[in-house]
Structure 1
Amino acid sequence: MVQTEVIAVEMCLFQSLILTVSLFSCSNANIFTCPKRSDDVFKVLNSSESELIFAHVIYRHGDRTIGHLYPNDPWREEIHWPEGYGALTNEGKRRHYKLGKFFMRRYGEILGHKYSPNKVYVRSSDYDRTIMSAQANLAGMFRPTDDEIWNEDIGRVWQPIPIHVVPLKSEYLIANERKCPKFEAMFAKHEKESPEIQRIYSQYADQFLHWTQESGANITTFREVKELYKTLLMERARYKTLPAWAEKAIERNGVMGYISKYHFKMRTDTPQLARLSTGFLIKEIFERFSKKINKTLQPDRSVWVYSAHDDTVANLLNSFGLFEIHIPPYASSILLELYKNDENEHYIQMFYRKSDVEKPSPLNIPNCGEKCTLDRLYELYSELIPGDFETECRWP
């Protein structure tokens, strides 16, 4: 009898894990009798579940060729880069195609498996590599179904899907190409007055001089170090033989890498800088979340995609207080997802996917946690939300 009761207890505990029902929900007649899988049990379970209803996706383009040349570079001639300068490589295309398939696995239920302009919107910065990344990504997301096949040669492989851009001279949302005079002035002031930045300049002054002499370029700022570093990394990735000084410069945990990675946080080092560099993107994302919650988003889309850059990813993470100093990898992506529960309450979760993880963990948003209401996000980041671009950027 005792053995029977022990077995019954084990079975009851096992089922309670599945049903999230306490052992003490068994019948009063016998506490070792487990509950049946009744409709009432599943109503309790479903009441605590949430439904994904909308997502913003911001990703970096795929692998690319060099774009910033230095005078002494043995590989600076375009003949060594058949794709062209700053261009998406075949590996970059493959990486984004794979990422697109991941997005379909994650968002297929809210997108449907057929492309609809009323379900998804894609915006890219006006660079070939970001536009092409978006094209490869969409090819992974939306393989043509029977009635979408439009060409026998292409068949079920690809269909055209619109990607929206604005001219670079007007772009300030996902690439800081349109100059903001107030930001430039504040950034210059911050760079001169930041004790940490000045310490790095002073401590590694000899390295700046060394890189200048070896490269033939004028390496005097963090940004110039970063661009040189990225060029050397891209050349090594394409199996180009580097000069000895360059090999040493890009050693793991070296000074050039440290300075380059540090630069990714500088544009959003203070709330004022973040407001003028990333605040416009945050404002647009929050406003779109609000429209979705209030059922005023027209068309009532499910996923909004931004094809952008490593700076875009780093700046957004750092503005939210979530950035650990590094270079965002190719095709790394930030996912901001909106959920609704059975009580019609909404919350937002944020994810950073920088590898081929199938189920990234939600980020712990400072002073909020893994789940934040939109109202709470507005409270936390109110000083980052700007007005219109012209007014905010006016200087002096």
Structure 2
Amino acid sequence: MFLSKCVVLCPSSTAYSSVTNGALSLSWQIFVRSTDCDRTLMSAEANLAGLYPPEGQQIFNPNISWQPIPVHTVPESEERLLKFPLTPCPRYEQLQNETRHSADYINKTKENWQFLQMVANETGIRDVSLESIWSVYDTLFCEQAHKMDLPVWVTPDVMTQLKQLKDFGFEFLFGIHNRVEKARLQGGVLLDHIRKNLTKAANLSAHQNLKLLAYSAHDTTLVALQMALDVYNKIQAPYASCHLFELYQEDDGNFSVEMFFRNESGKEPFPLTIPGCQHKCPLPGWTRAWQKGKAWTMPCLPLVFSLAELFVGLAVCGSILLLLIILLLTVLFRIQSQPPGYRHVSNEGEEHA
């Protein structure tokens, strides 16, 4: 199981009936889902082209070393698994506002205030902050990768500082303040989904044909997931990186999980060890290590009010209710205080007689 970031290769969208048999046989072994984004769909197809070159009857054209493999997606407006941060989520938004008022965030802003203003002046972007600086760095990084000339103000030192602030901005999304609760609201959703799939594969191992479950998503997806696992190294995942979960059945029949992170094409992926367990972690221990005995995922419900706010709300509602009761009693008292049988009779007719 892996999460892939973007690779800019474009697959064909044409269906070939002559190769459906080969694709059908693979569909029993792999399931691929992508966010509904051109670059992630292209990444999924590019990865599959490399993982599954056609063989034997799968070859429909000797000059084309490729076979079609389904990639599933949902509309971006319905994406609740792979696109982070998940919104709308009032509690998460409240935590982000608290993070903006944290000492780490305030101090980081003060330390880099002049630099942020310089970037704002040079780019013409009015509101350059620790949260938005990533867009400046990302644009310059892409231009640099495509051998384009950078503006004269973008020196190597400027790029280094932009990258550091961009990394801090990514950490802001899922950490710095109340990381565990943020993780449960965000990356915990995907992590729990992965746990369920690993558990299902272990329980159905004798009859399980599915060998690979792959997700093609974004750098923020990786950050959210690794924050939830508490293995994030505070550096943005580079292009084409992937986080791998491998499920093994041991000689004694029990299952274990190994994790790896591939962030360089020229090197083997390096092992990740979740705090509280060894690298080859038994499946139940792997789950307990990141859940820490708590129900992990949290629904994005309306804001969770503090006890003080609850008391204030109850007091206000109680006061309004008391005023309404007093008003009602006053009206009833005045009605009952009128003499029996007394009626006001108009003499308007007599005056005109």
TM-score bracket for the superposition, by shorter chain length: 0.7 to 0.9
State the one-letter code of the partner of 1:174.
L
- Asked if structure 2 preserves the Cα contact closer than 8 Å seen for 1:124 and 1:130, the reply is yes
Number of the residue aligned with 1:139 = 49
Task: Work out which of the residue numbers 302, 305, 323 in structure 1 matches 2:211.
Answer: 302
1:175 equivalent in structure 2: 83
**Displacement after TM superposition at 1:209 (Å):** 1.1
Counterpart pick for 1:392 among 300, 311, 325: 300
> 2:140 matched to 1:246?
no
1:210 paired residue number: 118
**CA distance in 1: counterparts of 2:252 and 2:9, whole angstroms:** 47
The normalised TM-score by structure 2 is 0.75
CA distance in structure 1 between the aligned counterparts of 2:73 and 2:208, rounded to whole angstroms: 19
SS at match of 1:386: coil
User: How far apart are residue 210 of structure 1 and its match?
Assistant: 1.0
The corresponding residue for 1:50 is: none
Q: Which residue of 1 aligns with 2:314?
A: none
- The within-5 A match list for 1:93-104 is none
Corresponding position of 2:6: 61
Paired AA for residue 376 in structure 1: G
Q: 1:296 to 1:141 in 2, by over 3 A?
A: closer
Q: Which residue of 2 aligns with 1:116?
A: 26
Q: What pairs with 1:305-324 in structure 2 (closer than 5 Å)?
A: 305-324=214-233
Aligned partner (choices 233, 236, 240) of residue 141 of structure 2: 233
Q: Does 1:280 align with 2:189?
A: yes
Of 164-173 and 312-321, more deviation after overlay is shown by 312-321
AA aligned to 1:237 is: A
Matched, 1:346 2:252: no
Shift of 1:158: 1.3
- Percentage identity across paired residues of the two chains: 27
Could you tell me which amino acid in structure 1 is paired with residue 124 of structure 2?
A: G
Equivalent residue number for residue 368 of structure 1: 277
Unaligned runs of 5+ in 2: 12-21, 305-353
Q: Residue by residue, what CA displacement relative to the aligned partner does 1:18-69 show, whole Å, maximum 9, x if unpaired?
A: xxxxxxxxxxxxxxxxxxxxxxxxxxxxxxxxxxxxxx1112112xxxxxxx
Residue deviations 1:203-262 (CA, integer Å, cap 9, x gap): 1111111111110012432231111011111111112212221235644xx322111112
Question: Does the CA contact (< 8 Å) of 2:132 and 2:169 recur in 1?
Answer: no
C-alpha distance in 1, partners of 2:184/2:207? 27
Q: Indicate the RMSD between aligned Cα atoms, in angstroms.
A: 2.5
Distance 1:262 1:314, change over 3 A: same
TM-score by length of 1: 0.67
| CA-CA distance at 1:356 after TM superposition | 2.6
Once the two structures are superposed, what CA deviation does each residue of 1:92-151 show, in whole Å capped at 9, x if it has no partner? x9xxxxxxxxxxxxxxxxxx999511110101011100000111111111112221233x
Cα drift, residue 377 of structure 1: 2.5
Aligned to 1:127: 37
Distance 1:298 1:225, change over 3 A: farther
Change (3 A) 1:298 1:187: farther
Q: CA deviation at 1:89?
A: 5.8
Given that 2:255 and 2:282 are in contact with CA atoms closer than 8 Å, whether structure 1 keeps it comes out as: yes
The answer for unaligned runs of 5 or more in structure 1 is: 1-55, 63-87, 94-111
